[in-house]
């Protein structure tokens, strides 16, 4: 059973991000870790009682930003990632003054986010050696 919850368990969130972004995708540690974790809302995604995904939520003016979305390889294709993003969008819908939700998607993941109501905008850009494009959905 899939379950998403807001968490203060940064150690588990960081372990998931390390496994996906640093170990699997080769993103340098210096580019993964920043000071924004301290002031962000963090989500953990579980199948049964095993944490297998995470995301970070931040308010930036009238936009909500979903970032650091990752799901361990063994849980991809289960619907966990979609549930995680939907939870983030719904969370922002409950916040005052948020008009839209944005994220920076790895180019290969654009179709995944499009199915969740996001539309690409702006140019493709490099983030940690991986092509990305910004995407937006209505809150």
Helix (H) / strand (E) containing 138: strand 130-138
Best CA proximity match to 106, nearest among 86, 81, 80: 81
Best CA proximity match to 20, nearest among 109, 111, 121, 117: 109
Instruction: For residue 72, give both structure tokens.
Output: 């361990």
Predicted confidence at residue 40, as pLDDT, reads 98
Q: The pTM is what?
A: 0.95
Report d(CA 111, CA 109) in Å as an integer: 6
CATH number at residue 107: 3.40.630.30
Predicted confidence at residue 35, as pLDDT, reads 94
The dihedral built from the CA positions of residue 62, 114, 4 and 20, taken in this order, carries a sign that is negative
Q: If you ran DSSP here, which 8-state letter would residue 98 be given?
A: -
Alpha-carbon distance values, 117 to 30, 110, 123, 136 (Å): 32, 11, 19, 8
pLDDT digits (tens, 9 = 90+) for 30-68: 999 999 999 999 999 999 999 999 999 999 999 999 999
- pLDDT band at residue 139, thresholds of 50, 70 and 90? confident
Looking at the 3D structure of the chain, how many domains does it have? 1
Q: Which domain holds residue 81?
A: 2-138
């Amino acid at each position: 059973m899939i379950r998403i919850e807001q968490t203060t368990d940064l150690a588990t969130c960081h372990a998931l991000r390390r496994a996906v972004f640093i170990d699997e995708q080769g993103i340098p540690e210096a580019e993964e870790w920043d000071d924004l974790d301290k002031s962000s809302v963090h989500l953990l995604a579980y199948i049964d009682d095993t944490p297998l995904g995470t995301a970070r939520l931040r308010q930036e003016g009238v936009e909500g930003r979903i970032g650091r979305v990752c799901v361990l390889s063994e849980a991809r294709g289960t619907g966990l990632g979609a549930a995680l993003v939907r939870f983030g969008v719904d969370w922002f819908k409950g916040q005052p003054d948020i008009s839209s939700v944005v994220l920076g998607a790895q180019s290969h993941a654009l179709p995944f986010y499009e199915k969740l109501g996001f539309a690409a905008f702006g140019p493709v850009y490099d983030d940690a050696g991986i092509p990305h494009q910004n995407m937006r959905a209505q809150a």
